[in-house]
Structure 1
Amino acid sequence: MDLEMITLSEMVREQYTTTTEGTRIERPENQSVYKIGIYGWRKRCLYLFVLLLLIILLVNFALTIWILKVMWFSPTGMGHLHVTEDGLRLEGESEFLFPLYAKEIHSRVDSSLLLQSTQNVTVNARNPEGEVTGRLKVGPQMVEVQSQQFQINSKDSKPLFTVDEKAVVVGTDKLRVTGPEGALFEHSVETPLIKPDPIQDLRLESPTRSLSMDAPKGVHIQAAAGKIEALSQMDIVLHSSDGTLVLDAETMCLPKLAQGTQGPASSLQGLYEICACPDGKLYLSVAGVGTTCHENSHICL
Structure 2
Amino acid sequence: MVREQYTTTTQGTSLERPENQYVYKIGIYGWRKRCLYLFVLLLLVILVVNLALTIWILKVMWFSPTGMGHLRVTSEGLRLEGDSEFLFPLYAKEIHSRMDSPLLLHSSQNVTVNARNSEGKVTGRLLVGQEMVEANSQHFQINSNNGKMLFSANEEEVVVGTDKLRVTGPEGALFEHSVETPLVKADPFKQLRLESPTRSLTMDAPRGVHIKAQGGNIEVLSHMDINLQSSDGTIVLDAETVRLPRLPQGSRGDGGSSQGLYEICVCKDGKLYLSVADVKSTCQDYNSPC
Alignment TM-score, normalising by the size of structure 2: 0.93
Asked if the contact 2:116/2:122 (under 8 Å) is kept, the reply is yes
* Partner deviation per Cα, 1:111-141 (whole Å, 9 max, x = no partner): 1000011111110111111111111001111
Query: Which protein has the bigger helix share?
Result: 1
Out of 106, 127, 142, the residue aligned to residue 117 of structure 2 is: 127
| Equivalent position of 1:272 in the other structure | 262
SS at match of 1:59: helix
Asked if the contact 1:266/1:288 (under 8 Å) is kept, the reply is no
Paired with 1:83 and 1:241, the residues of 2 have a C-alpha distance of 75
| Equivalent position of 1:247 in the other structure | 237
| Equivalent position of 1:208 in the other structure | 198
Out of 18, 29, 42, the residue aligned to residue 39 of structure 1 is: 29
The offset of 1:236, in angstroms, is 0.2
> In percent, how many aligned pairs have the same letter?
75
Out of 53, 75, 89, the residue aligned to residue 79 of structure 2 is: 89
| Equivalent position of 2:4 in the other structure | none
Paired with 1:227 and 1:287, the residues of 2 have a C-alpha distance of 31
**Equivalent AA in structure 1 for residue 46 of structure 2:** I
Segments of 5+ residues of structure 2 without an aligned counterpart are 1-10
The offset of 1:255, in angstroms, is 0.7
Asked if the contact 2:247/2:272 (under 8 Å) is kept, the reply is yes
**Equivalent AA in structure 1 for residue 235 of structure 2:** L
Task: Give the 5 Å matches for 1:150-299.
Answer: 150-261=140-251, 266-267=257-258, 269-299=259-289
**Equivalent AA in structure 2 for residue 33 of structure 1:** V
Is 1:69 aligned to residue 33 of structure 2? no
Paired with 2:182 and 2:191, the residues of 1 have a C-alpha distance of 18
Asked if the contact 1:260/1:285 (under 8 Å) is kept, the reply is yes
The higher-RCO structure (CA 8 Å, 6+ apart) is: 2
1:283/1:264 Cα in 2 relative to 1: closer, same or farther (>3 Å)? Answer: closer
* Partner deviation per Cα, 1:133-172 (whole Å, 9 max, x = no partner): 1110011111011111111111111110111001110000
Aligned pairs, number: 279
* Larger of the two Rg values belongs to structure: 1
Is 1:57 aligned to residue 47 of structure 2? yes
The offset of 1:265, in angstroms, is 6.7
| Equivalent position of 2:7 in the other structure | none
| Equivalent position of 1:145 in the other structure | 135
| Equivalent position of 2:8 in the other structure | none
**Equivalent AA in structure 1 for residue 101 of structure 2:** S
